[in-house]
Amino acid sequence: MAKTLKLVSKRLRVTKRKKVLFRLAQQGHAKAKEAGDTRRNKRQPHQSTAPFLKKVVKKYPMKT
């Protein structure tokens, strides 16, 4: 069995049904100029549809 890939485990979350969730980038301190919708959208996890992420999740086990 492969070791846990720390890079992946810190940035992604895999659900019970094997969906890959992640947080959007650019959530720094300079949020004042963004529209409210943009700020609210960044608060929620987004689902990834990238096929290479699904391969990474299969290859490297995620610690929960």
Render pLDDT for 16-44 as a digit per residue (tens, 0 to 9): 887 888 877 776 777 778 888 888 887 87
Identify whether 1 is part of a domain. no
More confident residue, 62 or 34: 34
Average pLDDT over residues 41-48: 80
Tokens in use for 42?
């960044």
Identify whether 43 is part of a domain. yes
**pTM score, two decimals?**
0.53
Cα angle, residue 50 at apex, residues 49 and 52 outer, rounded to 5°: 140
Domain count for the chain: 1
Evaluated on CA atoms 52, 61, 20, 35, the torsion sign reads negative
CB 8 within 8 A of CB 62: yes
Range of the domain at 44: 6-25+32-59
Identify whether 39 is part of a domain. yes
Identify whether 13 is part of a domain. yes
In this prediction, residue 1 has a pLDDT band, given cuts at 50, 70 and 90, of low
Helices (H), 1-64: 6-11, 36-42, 51-59
